[in-house]
Amino acid sequence: MAKSKSSSSPLSFMGSSAKKSLHSASTIEAGKNNNNIATTYKKETRQDNDNRNTTKTSSPPPSEQRQQAVDQDQSFTEDYLDMNIDIDQLSEELQLQESVVTEKTEQVKKWKQILATQRDNIHKDVTKWQQTLAEATKEHRDKYEEGVRKWQTVLADGIVNRADRYEKEMKAWQSLLDGATSMKEFKAVRSEWHRLEAGRHAPTKEMRQANERLQQLEEDVNVPTKAMKEAQKMIDTLIQKRDAPTNTLVLTSKR
């Protein structure tokens, strides 16, 4: 039995002082472990409290949540209404722009028609004045040709008359020459006869006048008359107006 007692206690061989030291060491170690456990528990408890506090802060109470939901619905409704208003305004602006485009298109058509009518009228005026110019030119040419015929006739008649008169006078002086009874009379008649012979091809007054008129007609035929000048001036003005920029035609039509 004594042997059994000694083997049941592994510290039985130690002295009392050793046992006290070992007990103190165990107590200290146990205290350290307890302190570590307490520190860990405090940390975990503090973290749990922080988490719960955080959860409480981020999650408002139900009444506040309902109010937030109402506010969100109201905000959405206001945004929706604002969006509808914006859409309506854009639709009105679009319709206004479309009406403006339509109006401008009609104005463009109107002014194109005005310009087309104006150019057509100008073309008609040009044609009319060209006809007037042609008639004035023909009249001028006809007068020239009539004058030429007239004065050519005068000239031809003058030549014939001159020849006839020459022949008559020569015959008369020839008779006087043949009938001269004295040398003095013969010389006088012969002198007059030579004068007539020298002037046989000289133009008469009528012939000179006819030649002057014919020369004047040749110069005048290339000079436009007053009527021709007016017609040409109107044609030039109308063509310049016809070929002018569009805005000039529009302004002219407005005036």
Torsion of CA 77, 79, 82, 83, to 10 degrees: -110
CB distance 181 to 226 below 8 Å: no
CB distance 126 to 235 below 8 Å: yes
Is 204 contained in some domain?
A: yes
d(CA 116, CA 101) in angstroms, rounded, equals 22
Is 190 contained in some domain?
A: yes
The domain tally of the chain equals 1
Tens digit of each residue's pLDDT (9 = 90 or more) over 55-94: 445 566 666 666 666 566 666 566 666 666 667 777 888 8
CB distance 189 to 177 below 8 Å: yes
Per-residue model confidence (pLDDT) at position 3: 41
Mean pLDDT over the full length of the chain = 75
Per-residue model confidence (pLDDT) at position 253: 46
Cα separation values, 144 from 136, 158, 171, 209, 226, Å: 12, 21, 40, 16, 15
Q: What is the DSSP secondary structure assignment for residue 59, as one 8-state letter?
A: S
Is 51 contained in some domain?
A: no
Is 222 contained in some domain?
A: yes
Let me know if 181 is exposed, middle or buried by CB neighbors in 10 A (0-12, 13-18, 19+): exposed
Identify the weakest region by mean pLDDT among 4-18, 136-150, 196-210. Answer: 4-18
CB distance 193 to 172 below 8 Å: no
Is 234 contained in some domain?
A: yes
Tens digit of each residue's pLDDT (9 = 90 or more) over 161-186: 888 888 888 888 777 777 777 888 77
Per-residue model confidence (pLDDT) at position 78: 62
- In terms of residue numbers, what domain contains 230? 89-242
Contact residues for 221 (Cβ-Cβ < 8 A; gap 6+): 140, 141, 144
Other CB atoms closer than 10 Å to residue 147's CB: what's the count? 17
Is 182 contained in some domain?
A: yes
Distance of CA 225 to the CA centre of its chain: 42
Is 95 contained in some domain?
A: yes
What average pLDDT score do residues 21-44 get?
Answer: 50
Is 140 contained in some domain?
A: yes
Share of the chain above pLDDT 90, in %: 25
Per-residue model confidence (pLDDT) at position 4: 42
Q: Tokens standing for 247?
A: 């805005």
What average pLDDT score do residues 134-153 get?
Answer: 94
